[in-house]
Chains A and B, each alone.
Chain A
Amino acid sequence: MNSHLPIPAVVAAIRPLAVDTSLLTLHTEPGHPVASSFLPGQFLQLSLPGVGEIPLSYCGVPSRDGSIELCIRHVGHVTTPLKSAAPGDAVGVRGPFGHGFPLSAYAGQDLLLIAGGLGIAPLRSLLLTLLKQRELWGRLTLLYGARETGALMFLDELLEFQRRGVIELQLTVDRPGYCINGPPECRVALLPALLEQLALEPGRTCAAICGPPVVYPLLVSRLRLLGVADDRIHLSLERRMKCGVGLCGHCAVGTRLCCVDGPVFSFAELAGIEGALV
């Protein structure tokens, strides 16, 4: 595999998830590692010819048929033109890159997934992976917050998992918004508020977090108050990884590189590093 060269992929489907966000399904060479062997939390580089390349977390699970699911918020110079992507459009992909969530350390543990906004993308990948072998883990809880009810994504899927009793789900929105039919039992509060009344066993709980950087310090301090140890808290960090392979020098966190050493780090690795979280 040449990790510097994007391989061809085509848009297989694009489906709106929220007003500014879509689920992009790509199809590439079956069996290529970029689609078939990644861990939740790892990322790929998506190229839009003539426009540019961006790092994106995987949103789905590894596939044998070459399909890749990505959650795209149409706000940047590459993601905005992707809004008008249509099935058959050519793109390029390379990856997988970095380190994902430590699945082997999760065996037998209660897992607390905390997603803020677009942070649901890698955590959906993690959740779907965990549910493939549900019996290996203890409690699975997803705390998911978005700015308004219309911005909560994958709701049908998540509510179905909740109905089947395989996960515990708590939803919150920053403000009610204009959507009348919000999901049942959705709170109006900031994401860290969901941790206030959460009962958990800190000694057997691991937290996996992805969300806007601004919310990380508060989430981490709440989890520490609940007694969760630093090495049981894993966060996916946001950085602009331009090359993905440790060369371009943009994504260092302290002296570690987000693209090769991360983007998922335990808080124990990050504690004391200036600018690691925000």
Chain B
Amino acid sequence: MATKEKTLVETQQRHMGMKALNRISNTAVYILLTVISIVWLLPFAFILLQSFRVESTSPVGYVIPQQWGLDNYLQLWNSDFKRWYINTFIIALFAAVFVTIIQLCMSYTLSRFRFKLRGPMMRFMLILGMFPGMLTMIILYRVLADLGLTQANAVPGLILVSVASSGMGYYVSKGFFDTIPKSLDEAARVDGATRLQVLYKIILPLSKPIVIYTILTAFMGPWGDYVFARYVAFGTSAGYNVAVGMYSWLTNDQIAQMYTTFCAGGVIVAIPVTILFLCLQKYYVEGVTGGAVKG
């Protein structure tokens, strides 16, 4: 009898212990998550705060402005920033359209068609992808220069370059297309559809997530593109995109004057992209988790 009671007590304790343990670990997780969130958001909060600072334009040891104002944004308006912003926006827009078309063509074909050169082609592209893309810059710059698409005319050049090779990035969307059962295609073909009709009557309506994902990533890419833009537009402010332009503000000779302007520019660049991203977050997550891993 005594032993039975003892075990009962022990069991109760064990249950209590588990509950308490759970509570403690949950609290720890909450604390950790809060800390992580703060660490992750702080720099962006700093950028936002410093963009409103009026009293000085250089990096300082405090975050909250002593004097608030929109001076930095006015400064942006009066600088080449407008031009850079429009440049980037145009590149992003064209890239979004054409990269999406090209990548979807490529990935759909590789997912659905079995032709003789399919295997060798995919292997070849895998190998091509192992070369550092930067290597091709040297010659592409010379070619673009011959075509007159550098410096002030960098925008069409950058569009061309970012669109042209985008077919190599087919992995994510191919992974998505692979999940659509092939029997749907076959059923439609038996029902009398041509391959083209299969694509736009059956597959595309089912591919909304991946289309949006592709558009989103293609649109966001050019906003962060530094190296190629810098190479193609070298030295001519009119051809800069935001990344190249704003990078020049943080060089040693400009940082003292332009630091807070950089923050304001960062806010202006980040806001539309972030809003767009958050609205389409669902699709992005779907694409990343579905396709990226498989690729």
A and B are partners in one complex rather than unrelated chains: no
Residues of A within 8 A of B (CB): none
Residues of B within 8 A of A (CB): none
